[in-house]
Amino acid sequence: MLGGFYIATINIIICSILSYFIAPLIKNLGNKFKIIDIPDLRKVHTTPIVRIGGLSIFLTFAFYFVVVYFFNNSLIELNLYQSKIFFIVVGSILFFLIGLHDDIYKSSPILRLFLQFIIAFGVSFQGIGLTSLDFYLPFYGDINIYLPAVLKHIFNAIWIVGLTNSINWLDGIDSLAAGYCTILSFGFLFLMLFEGNFLGLIFYSVFVGSIIGFLFRNFKPAYYIMGDCGSNFLGFLLSSSSITLFNDSKLNSINIYYLLIIFSLPIFDMLFVIVSRFLNNKNIFLPDRSHIHHRLLDLNLDHKHIIFILYFYSVISVSLGIFYMKI
């Protein structure tokens, strides 16, 4: 356990440095090809800003994970290409490309959803996801429902696509989505550490380090923003790994309630926004100012206070979910 802690710490430090110092290259690339986010009434930025900052997270994670794998005999013995991690990484690359296309060309939301579901179904067929649902009902006690093949793939796809887009929707103010994903990843990393899941430990330590380097550049005033390429990448990795790595560890099953607690911030924000748009006869795909961070801004709260409130809630919800999952 102590050795795993040292390895994770080294990975986090190196990836944070790489992700942080690659930022000027990404910003210059965004400016050169005019991949810029233009301010409007809904957005909090007052000046144009490069919108492909997530490229620094993606490149750091991909490069370092490959390097660590090929130079670590323990990982080679685990055979990455026959593990579910391989399909999670492949799926995350495809989700990243969908987001990058949207950052550059502003693709149709229907097309994005269609492609996301195709990929999500594809990775589910490769064993990414749950095969049963555990939960508790009053008067009935603990219930375990085995999911038939069709329902299993539908549930996994909805979970992956829905959660990925909810994290994308959370990316409305500087450092919110990146900070939330950092908190979440630290929680998952500690769970892998306690469970003795070495591959999961490597995966999340590289992942969280890649985000931290970006996060330091994303605090207000932001150096750049992650864009859809970044939020798609983060969302897919977190959603798919949460229903795969935990299920493969020493835990026999996952209680769906615990996952809902862990991801409660983006899930409840998305549900609230969808219901609000539906009740107001608005297109649910068109952006507005009904997200939680926009509502807090409308209450005249400072950006730093909003970040503190939502970070604090995230720490509590992630800690509770993982604590109950562990006991």
pLDDT (tens place) for every residue of the chain, 327 residues total: 667 889 899 999 999 999 999 999 999 999 999 999 988 766 777 789 999 999 999 999 999 988 877 766 555 555 555 578 889 999 999 999 999 999 999 999 999 999 999 999 999 999 999 988 888 777 777 888 888 999 999 999 999 999 999 999 999 999 999 999 999 999 999 999 988 888 889 999 999 999 999 999 999 899 999 999 999 999 999 999 999 987 644 444 578 899 999 999 999 999 999 999 999 888 888 888 899 999 999 999 999 999 999 999 999 999 999 998 876
User: Taking a C-beta distance cutoff of 8 angstroms, is the pair 239, 181 a contact?
Assistant: no
What phi, psi does 143 have (nearest 5°)?
Answer: -125, 135
Res 250: pLDDT? 42
What's the whole-model pTM score?
0.94
Beta strands in the chain (DSSP E): 36-37, 49-50, 132-137, 141-146
Q: In whole angstroms, what is the distance from residue 319 CA to residue 314 CA?
A: 8
Res 42: pLDDT? 67
Q: Domain of residue 54: give its range.
A: 2-326
Q: How many domains does the chain have?
A: 1
Spatial neighbors of 279 by CB under 8 A, at least 6 apart, are none
